[in-house]
Structures are given as structure tokens and as C-alpha cells.
């Protein structure tokens, strides 16, 4: 078969295959097969070396014309396939696109931000500390006696090296007092850990905000005023509160603050354990022994401290009846709070 006959065969074959191609990918394969560096046309043209100048001119002209026509046919076919897709009656291109789903803050983060914002507007600074804490900062410097129940492994998670997963952010109080001189007015938000049984109102991992203020002539009345203003701001003006005497190793006198359960209106439910009230924080005047541990003169320095659980506040403010919902990652629950 002569070179002219080979060109004619390839041209007819290429035209038929391009015409019947069903996809852009198939067209690209045909282009490479006929016109590529290792394609059939290129292979034929390599055999022109042995021909006379007149034959080279004739065959070269036919080959270039063939290449141009096939290349043009492939481009036209690609445009035709694209038009067919865009006019496909099975899809309505005028429909709006699917909106991209946007993330948002978790309910715990929302509540934490609200709490820290309120205290910052009252003049408190924010401080942070390690979650794996030494016994000294978590217990000893806060006036916990060696045999205090909170040190027991039934209440505290211990590491192999004798460190603890902090049971409160109160250790930051000691760290900040060691670095500063009065007046010191700070809140310390963060994650804490306690070896507790999990139920509707308790979890083994939760978030806490510790607050403390040390200066001269600080009174329990100052503490009460700050906490009442905070509760009225976070919940609503006129929310029912009550201060109950309590005991904490690092404060004296001490108190716990209860809020009337917003879920049942004080009638009793599973969240408030059918008591009508829910404890949201502990507080008190900083014990002189704590001031001694950090080098403050307890005769000249007074102060108060308080600590509150963020999850407990979230349950009350947003009327959630089970703390476990905050950690189950059920998107049906999470997406309700944007």
C-alpha cells in the first residue's frame, strides 16, 4: 500500500471515529492516536526521507491538510458535546446551587464567650494555665490538707509521674499571685477534670471559670455585688438567687450560689434533682493561708474568689435538660445553637 493510500485510509478511519465519539475524553484519545508524537500520521511522515523532492511535496501537503481537517473536526465535536450537556433536559441549570454549610461555635464556646465578656467589662483580666498540674498548685498552695477527700483517686485523675489533671482552674490563682502584687483582678477560664459519675447534671470533663480579686479592704459585699450583677447580666434581671453557707479550703467564709431552675420554674425536675434550685458556683473570701503561700501579707491584703461551671450555666440559660447532650456531637442538637 502506497503512502497516499495509507493517508487516505487513516483519514477515512479518523473521520468516522471522531464523528461517533461520545465524550471529550474519547476525542482526546483519538487526537493522540492519530496526531500525537507517536500517532499514525507522524509514523507515516517519518518514511518520507526516502522519497524524491516532488513526492515529499505532494505527500507533505496532503498530510498537513489531513492534520488540519481532523484537528478542526475534533474541536467542533468537543463543542457539540459541550452544547449537548448544557441543554440536557434532565437537568435544570436555572435552579439555585446548594448553599455551602457553614460551621458555628459550640454551645459551650458560646457560653464561655458570654461569661468572659461580662467579667471583662467589669475590669477582670484573662489568664490561663496548664491542664496537667502539680499537686502543689492544684491542692497544697490552696490550703487543701494532705488527707482532704478531693486528693483521693476516686475524685482526681493522677498521671504516672504524680501530676494531676487539674480539678479546677484555681491553680492559676496561685500562679498569678506569685507573679504579681495587689491589686490583682483576674478570671481564669479552662477545661477541668473530675472522676465523677456521669448523669444529667455532671460530667467527668467540663469547663470552669475561676475569678479572683486581691487588694486592700475587699469585702464579702464586693463579692456579692459582682456575682449578682453577673447573674442578672447572663440570665435576666430579677432572676432568683440565694447564697448558702459552705466550705472550701481556700476561702473563708465560703458560700455557694443557687439559681432557681429555669426549666421547671422551681417546681422540681431531673436537672435540679427535683429541688427547684441549681447550684452554679462556689465563692468566698480568700483564706489568709493562701496569701501566706504566695508571699502576700494577710494583715494588709484581702480578696475574694469564685468558680463556676460553664456547662451548668449553659444548661440553665439555654434550657437544656441533660449535660451529656453537650458532648454527644449530635448535629441535630448542636445546630440549634448558632
Residues for the chain: how many in total?
Answer: 338
- pLDDT for 111 equals 92
- pLDDT for 31 equals 80
CA 88 from centroid of its chain's CA atoms: 42
Is the pLDDT reported for residue 272 higher than 70? yes
Average pLDDT for residues 193-203, to the nearest whole number?
80
Query: Which has more pLDDT, 216 or 32?
Result: 216
* pLDDT, tens only, 65-88: 777 888 888 888 888 777 665 555
Average pLDDT of the chain, as a whole number:
85
- pLDDT for 1 equals 61
Give the pLDDT band (50/70/90) at residue 152: confident
Give the pLDDT band (50/70/90) at residue 132: very high
Is the pLDDT reported for residue 154 higher than 70? no
- pLDDT for 84 equals 62
- pLDDT for 15 equals 82
Is the pLDDT reported for residue 203 higher than 60? yes
Is the pLDDT reported for residue 245 higher than 70? yes
Average pLDDT for residues 213-240, to the nearest whole number?
90
Query: Which has more pLDDT, 94 or 249?
Result: 249
Is the pLDDT reported for residue 34 higher than 90? no
- pLDDT for 118 equals 95
Hey, which of 81-95, 188-202, 221-235, 261-275 has the most confident mean pLDDT?
A: 221-235
- What percentage of residues in the chain have a pLDDT greater than 90? 35
- pLDDT for 235 equals 84
Domains of the chain with bracketed CATH: 3-86 (no CATH), 107-334 (3.30.930.10)
Amino acid at each position: 500500500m502506497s503512502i497516499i493510500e495509507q493517508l487516505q485510509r487513516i483519514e477515512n478511519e479518523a473521520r468516522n471515529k471522531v464523528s461517533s465519539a461520545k465524550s471529550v475524553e474519547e476525542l482526546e484519545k483519538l487526537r493522540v492516536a492519530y496526531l500525537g508524537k507517536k500517532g499514525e500520521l507522524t509514523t507515516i511522515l517519518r518514511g518520507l526521507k526516502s522519497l524524491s523532492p516532488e513526492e515529499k511535496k505532494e505527500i507533505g501537503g496532503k498530510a498537513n491538510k489531513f492534520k488540519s481537517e481532523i484537528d478542526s473536526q475534533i474541536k467542533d465535536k468537543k463543542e457539540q458535546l459541550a452544547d449537548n450537556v448544557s441543554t440536557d433536559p434532565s437537568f435544570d441549570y436555572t435552579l439555585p446551587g446548594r448553599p455551602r454549610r457553614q460551621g458555628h461555635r459550640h454551645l459551650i464556646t458560646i457560653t464561655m464567650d458570654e461569661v468572659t465578656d461580662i467579667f471583662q467589662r467589669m475590669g477582670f483580666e484573662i489568664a490561663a494555665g496548664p491542664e496537667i498540674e502539680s499537686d502543689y498548685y492544684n491542692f497544697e498552695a490552696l490550703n487543701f490538707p494532705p488527707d482532704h477527700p478531693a486528693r483521693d483517686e476516686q475524685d482526681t485523675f493522677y498521671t504516672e509521674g504524680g501530676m494531676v489533671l487539674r480539678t479546677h482552674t484555681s491553680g492559676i490563682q496561685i500562679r498569678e499571685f506569685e507573679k504579681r502584687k495587689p491589686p490583682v483582678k483576674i478570671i481564669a477560664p479552662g477545661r477541668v477534670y473530675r472522676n465523677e459519675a456521669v448523669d444529667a447534671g455532671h460530667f467527668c470533663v467540663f469547663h470552669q471559670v475561676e475569678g479572683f480579686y486581691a487588694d486592700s479592704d475587699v469585702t464579702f459585699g464586693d463579692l456579692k455585688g459582682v456575682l449578682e450583677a453577673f447573674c442578672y447580666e447572663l440570665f435576666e434581671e430579677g432572676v432568683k438567687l440565694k447564697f448558702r453557707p459552705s466550705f472550701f479550703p481556700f476561702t473563708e467564709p465560703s458560700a455557694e450560689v443557687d439559681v432557681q431552675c429555669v426549666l421547671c420554674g422551681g417546681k422540681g425536675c431531673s436537672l435540679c434533682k427535683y429541688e427547684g434550685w441549681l447550684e452554679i458556683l462556689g465563692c468566698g473570701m480568700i483564706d489568709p493561708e493562701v496569701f501566706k503561700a504566695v508571699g502576700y501579707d494577710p494583715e494588709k491584703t484581702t480578696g475574694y474568689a469564685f468558680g463556676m461551671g460553664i456547662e451548668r450555666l449553659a444548661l440553665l440559660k439555654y434550657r437544656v435538660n441533660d449535660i451529656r447532650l453537650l458532648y454527644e456531637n449530635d448535629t441535630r442538637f448542636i445546630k440549634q445553637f448558632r
